[in-house]
Chain A
Amino acid sequence: MTRARVLHAQLHLLDRQVVHDRDGRLVCKVDDLELDFDDQGRPYVTAILMGPLALGPRMGGVLGRLMEGAARLLGAQAPPRIPMADVSRVASAVHVGGDLERPALERWVRTRLIEPIPGARHEAE
C-alpha cells in the first residue's frame, strides 16, 4: 500500500480556489473546513465550508461580524458545504465533483442585474 497522503490544512487547503471538475467552473474558496470525530475520538475533515458564514468567523472583528450579520439578514442559516467525498484532487486548486447549487448571491445578481442586460447569454464577439 502506498503511503497515505499528507496535507497541511492551513497551507494546502484553506483559502484555495475550489474548481468544478466537469466544466472547470470556479465555485468558491475553501473558507473553512468542517471536522467530526471518528470512533477513536480523533477529528477528521468531513466537508469544505464556504460563504460569509464560514469566512466571517475566521475574519473576526467588526468586519467578520458584519459579514455574518449581512448573510443572516438575507436568510442564510448555515454555510453551504461540499462533502469531502466529492473532492477528487487537491493541487493548486481543490477540484470537486457532484452537483452543486450556485451561491445565493450569484443567483440573485444574475437574475436581477445581469440577465436583463442584452447580450448576457451570448459568448463575447
Chain B
Amino acid sequence: MRLSDLLGSPVRDSSGEVVGQVADVRLVQDGPLLRQVQHAFRVAGLIVVARHTGRLFGYERGPAIKGPWLVKVLVRALHHNTRYVPWEQVDRIDGADILLRVPKRDLAHVSDLYSERIS
C-alpha cells in the first residue's frame, strides 16, 4: 500500500455517514524496529476534512505555524470542522473507503491534539 492510497480517501462513520476525506496522516515513530537501528514511523491517526477542496497548509498544527494572521484565519475558517481520527477508531479499509467503528459525534476535533499537549 502507498500513502497516497489513504490521502483523499472518503471516510464514513459506523452508521455509514460520510465524515469527510483524509487530508493528512499523523505518524509516530514507535513502529517496528528497522534494521535494529531505529523505529519505523507508524500511522497513528488520520486528519479528516469535511470539505472536498483545499489543503491545510500546516495551519492545523497550533504552535508551528502562527502567521500570517489572515491566511491562518482563512484556512481555519475553510476547514473549521476538521477532525482527528486515531487509528484505533478505524474499523477497516473497504476499497477506496475508510470505515470507522464509531459514530461521527464521537470524533475529536483536530485542535484537541495540541491543546492536550500544552496542558
Contact = CB atoms under 8 A, between A and B. Distances in A.
Does chain A touch chain B in the assembled complex, meaning CB atoms less than 8 Å apart?
yes
B3 A9 contact: yes
B4 interface: yes
Given A43-B43, A85-B37, A10 B23 contact: yes
B26 A32 contact: no
A6 B56 CA distance: 17
Given A4-B28, A6-B26, A83-B34, A44 B41 contact: yes
A101 to B, nearest CB: 19
A8 B24 contact: yes
B27 to A, nearest CB: 5
Contacts, number: 96
B7 A10 contact: yes
Contacts of B3: 9, 14, 32-35, 45
B48 interface: no
Given A10-B7, A10-B23, A84-B40, A34 B2 contact: yes
Contacts of A32: 2-4
A44 B31 contact: yes
A54 B31 CA distance: 24
A42 B87 contact: yes
Q: Which 7 A-B pairs have the closest CB atoms?
A: A44-B31, A33-B3, A85-B34, A85-B35, A9-B25, A5-B29, A10-B24
Interface of B: 1-7, 23-32, 34-35, 37-44, 47, 55-56, 58, 61, 87
